Amino acid sequence: METRKVQRSGNTYYLYLPAAWCKSNGIGHDTQLTLDTSSEGNLIVSSAPQAAEEKQLALSLSETNGKLDRRLVNMFIVASYLNPVRSFRIKLDKPISSLEILDQKRLLSSIELVEFGEDHISCESSISVEDPDVILKTMIRKITNMIRVMQTKEAKELVQRYEEEIDRSNTLIQKAVISTLMFKRPSKLRHIELFYVAMLSKGLEGLADQLVSSTSSNSRHSRNFAESMQALLLSLLKYLDAPDYRSASAFANEVLAVLDKFDEKDAYAGRVKGLLQQLSETVIDWSVTSEVESKAAAVQQKQR
């Protein structure tokens, strides 16, 4: 990292761009640059996005030992959807029955744009997501709403709808992160922030799945956990609004207090415990990263 002094000419402020950066990005005297402001208020200068060639992905899947596992097909569909391509087509060497197609649609209920043919699966357009951090906060609120519905014993169809929306939110967040890391589009979030957003999203999606599966058992531990989760999710939202190690510590302490109430012999409690620990560890990791960056920025400020 290097520092450069801002120059002034009349009412205009300017800064010389590093020659090495200009050369590597093909920037000349007539090049147009894009200026944007990050969520922290920093100015982002980037080369104007080029008209990228629209990518089309074509894959072929064959049977193994006389069988084409639908779970394997599902994994390839999700991976193809998450990557930044305009369209994809997966050719199968064996026609799919109508029952198998329905199974796949249930597995992929959050991906409405995927179409199933007799011997192929395709997607002709792709959704772009600009603010994965906003989707993450919306995802948390959807989980709290789902918990409320579960506690009031409302229609199971509504709980299922919330679960599908939460799955879709996680899918869109993962897609946004992968697309940005592949430099296909700009983002207001830095790569390290995208990493932590994706980690939290994955953990929350797993937690929501456990909540839904617990409704059938209707165990005392399930009900107690659902009640505790609402407070934990509100604390997580507070952390995301003001991420620092103090709010991260407060969230982690609340998680530990909930974990201490779980019955170690309860298999459901064990799965939930692992997911909650993952969430608290991710929040702590993120807060320490932010603290390290904050200290480094303070030192640079003093040196100016």
Structure confidence by residue, pLDDT tens digits, 197-210:
999 999 999 999 88
- Kindly report the CA angle at 82 between 157 and 99, in degrees rounded to 5? 50
Q: Is the pLDDT score of 69 beyond 90?
A: no
* Residues making up the chain, counted from first to last: 304
In sign, the C-alpha dihedral spanning 126, 185, 192, 283 is: negative
Q: Is the pLDDT score of 31 beyond 50?
A: yes
> Which of the four pLDDT bands, split at 50, 70 and 90, describes residue 64?
confident
Distances (CA, A) of 34 to 84, 183, 292: 21, 14, 29
What is the rounded average pLDDT of the residues 111-136? Answer: 76
> Which of the four pLDDT bands, split at 50, 70 and 90, describes residue 106?
low
Q: Which runs of E-coded beta strand occur in the chain?
A: 7-9, 12-14, 33-37, 43-47, 56-61, 87-92, 114-116, 120-123
What pLDDT score was predicted for residue 102?
61
> Which of the four pLDDT bands, split at 50, 70 and 90, describes residue 262?
confident
Q: Is the pLDDT score of 41 beyond 70?
A: no
What pLDDT score was predicted for residue 249?
93
CATH number at 132-298: 1.20.58.220
- % the chain with pLDDT above 90: 20
Q: Is the pLDDT score of 127 beyond 90?
A: no
Q: Is the pLDDT score of 52 beyond 50?
A: no
**Please, what is the average pLDDT of the chain?**
80
Higher-pLDDT residue of 270, 50: 270
Q: Is 4 helix (H, G, I), strand (E, B) or coil?
A: coil
**Cα pseudo-dihedral 143, 144, 150, 152, rounded to 10:** -160
The CATH architecture annotation of domain 7-47 reads: Ribbon (2.10)
7-9 vs 12-14, strand pairing mode:
antiparallel
Burial class (CB in 10 A: 0-12, 13-18, 19+), 216: exposed
Indicate the angle between helix axes 191-217 and 220-241, nearest 10 degrees.
160
- Chain centroid, CA 13 distance in Å: 38
What is the rounded average pLDDT of the residues 87-95? Answer: 86
Higher-pLDDT residue of 151, 48: 151
What pLDDT score was predicted for residue 279?
95
Domain residue ranges in the chain = 7-47, 56-123, 132-298
pLDDT in tens, 9-20: 888 888 888 888
Place of tokens 């302490």: 253
